Amino acid sequence: MAHKTVWLIRHGQTLGNEQKRYNGRGTDEPLSEEGIRQARLAGKWIGQIMASAGASLRVCASPLKRAVQTADLLFANPKIRQIEDLEEMDFGAFEGKSYEDLSGNPAYQAWIDSGGTLSFPGGETKEEFTRRCYRGFLTALGDPDREETVAVVCHGGTIMAVMHALTGKDYYEFMTCNLGGYCLETETDDEGIHSFTYHGFDSGDPG
């Protein structure tokens, strides 16, 4: 049985985040100037923690620009494994739109009234998204017999889906800020994840 430390880290801020848009899998935007500043600041404490992992550190990321760019800024010359299943949710008809854009849209109002449980029109269901993200998380874990530290730079929705799948707790309990996320301590073998503990952190504090 192998011990793995896994860091789930949300990417830095983008213009879409600043404008509170539903920018998901279909919007491949880079970090904003504020997002670059956030990532450079977070890289100071993240770099100190990851330095102790040495050669055992692996970096994985969603292929979307905002995640890859964040990983580049957080880690010195990282070799990044890009995993498509870690991409943000497909928001369908809501993709790229803000609350103001969607105000008065009956489908959006129905989604709001459901507490976010309805599917996005033309997009992924929460169940489909959770299955995809958990599959991506298992891919990122890699060899179950290897002891190592794994940094996974992805999206807020991806983190919510993975933590929901792991814990069975409410999906929305795991909302996180840019450059925030969760640190997991796991025990794995060929049969999967046998145990894990976790704690959350924000953009300026590893917890």
* Residues marked as catalytic: 11, 88
Two structure tokens written together for 160: 């919510």
Pairing, β 148-154 against β 2-10: parallel
